[in-house]
A = this chain, B = another copy of it.
Amino acid sequence: MGDVFKALADETRRLILDELATRDDQTLFELCSLLISRHGVNSSRQAISQHLAVLESAGLVTVRWQGRSKLHSIERGPLRDLTQRWLEPGKDTRCGST
């Protein structure tokens, strides 16, 4: 399993997650179009494909084949409690705990 932090370190990959957070089951071409039109990313199809491979290896994206289309979805599991390692209980400000 790849490194979740390393996967999140790239801006293009974060934008891919943004798009997948908006809508699941998107193909490579759909993601390419959205990244170009909405975020000005001008990378090739292969570049995006490699980014998706990194995200998949990190467990942040799951894949489902449908015919010749590969449908990508976001996997939120690895994102939860990712930084909990440094936010020890008792000092958390998010849940209104004293």
Contact = CB atoms under 8 A, between A and B. Distances in A.
Contact of A80 (B5, B80, B88, B94): B94
Interface string A57-89: 000000000000000001010011111011110
Contacts of A76: 86-87, 91
A81 B79 CA distance: 11
A95 interface: yes
**Max chain B CB contacts within 10 Å: which of A5, A17, A94, A95?**
A5
Given A79-B87, A80-B83, A93-B80, A14 B21 contact: no
A88 B5 contact: no
A9 B18 contact: no
